Amino acid sequence: MSGALLDVDNVVRTYAGGSLFARRRTVAVNGVSLRLEKARPEIFTIVGESGSGKTTLARMILNMVAPSAGAIRFNGTDLSTIRGGRARLAFMKQVQPIFQNPFEAFNPMKRVDRYLFVTARRMAGVSTDAGIVDATDGALLSVGLSLAEIRGRFPHELSGGQLQRVAIARALISRPALLVADEPVSMIDASLRASIVNLLRDLRDRLGVSIIYITHDLATAYYISDRILIMRRGEAVESGDARTVLDNPQHPYSQLLKQSVLSPDPQNRPMNF
């Protein structure tokens, strides 16, 4: 067991809604397991339609939502045993999120470099001004930006692609072992999307960061992932090596999902369309 970076063991999450007398229970995630190895950094993709529970699963991995049943262990520590600010901070240093919409992730009234400096001070444990600048610049360089380009700029002065790079740089400052990226490219323009996807690949190869990549876009999933998990209504319907699963899906839902992907070649236009 010592080799597992992340071990999600049969987790269940239910939400209850409705009034006191007419409770409705929704099972958002129902018995999902997955395991990432410490020795082998990889891009693990979770695919599913909206309402399939992929975001709930991500929130549990980030320890923002506690599982109703089952356990998540990170580096052998059960997330439910993390108590107190210090332990929580130590966990956050290791596991960092990247959100869908960079324009919402940053406060429009604040300069973006502030986020980086605050993160460096709190997460990377540097206290001198020079150390903070070094840590920030290093993280920005690894995403193809530099502090000189970002310094003093407000979010509206950067393009969506640049801003998402800054968000990724912010996540990298604490040198995490795992990034949880929830739809990181769906709000990015087509001409910049390829560069963000390539960046995720590059981070895995160069920095050895494992990435949980959540998406509903099978084409980019095929392009970057090592392993894949297909979810439907809270349950894992198929998982395995990404190319194998997507080239030859076994479960009827995976097959439906694959058939629904529109081919970007006008020649292959389906006739019933």
Partner 1 sequence: MNDRLPGPVLAVTDLRAYYRTKAFGVEREVRAVDDVSLSIEANEIYGLAGESSSGKTTLIKTIAAAIQPPLEVLAGSVVFNFGGRSVDMHHVDPRELAAIRWKHLSYIMQGSMNVLNPVRHVKQSFVDFAFRHIAKPMPEFLDIVRGHLQRLHLAPDVLDSYPHQLSGGMRQRVTIALATVCRPEFIIADEPTTALDVVVQKGVLAMIHQIQRELGSSIIFVTHDMAVHANLTDRLGIMYAGRLVEEGRTADVFRSPRHPYTAHLIASLPRLGDSAPKKGLEGAPPNLANPPPGCRFHPRCPRASDICGRDTPPMVELAPGHRAACFHPEPVQPA
User: Which residue ranges make up the site for partner 1 (CB under 8 A)?
Assistant: 49-50, 158-162, 189-198, 216-220, 222-224, 243, 246-247, 256-258, 260-267, 269-270, 272-273
- C-beta closer to partner 1: residue 71 or 187: 187
Distances, alpha carbon 194 to alpha carbons 95, 219, 240, in Å: 24, 12, 24
Please, what is the minimum distance in Å from the beta carbon of residue 228 to partner 1?
12
- C-beta closer to partner 1: residue 63 or 186: 186
Which residues are bridge partners to 241 per DSSP?
Answer: 227
Please, what is the minimum distance in Å from the beta carbon of residue 81 to partner 1?
37
Three-state DSSP state, 185: coil
Please, what is the minimum distance in Å from the beta carbon of residue 245 to partner 1?
11
CA distance 39 to 230: 24
Q: Give 190's contacts (C-beta < 8 A, 6+ positions apart).
A: none
Q: Give 43's contacts (C-beta < 8 A, 6+ positions apart).
A: 200, 201, 204, 210, 211, 213, 224, 225, 226, 227
Please, what is the minimum distance in Å from the beta carbon of residue 101 to partner 1?
12
Please, what is the minimum distance in Å from the beta carbon of residue 119 to partner 1?
24
- C-beta closer to partner 1: residue 64 or 256: 256
- C-beta closer to partner 1: residue 131 or 144: 144
User: Taking a C-beta distance cutoff of 8 angstroms, is the pair 194, 162 a contact?
Assistant: no
- C-beta closer to partner 1: residue 129 or 189: 189
**Closest C-alpha to 61, from 39, 82, 40, 86:** 82
The neighbour count for residue 216, using CB atoms within 10 Å, is 16
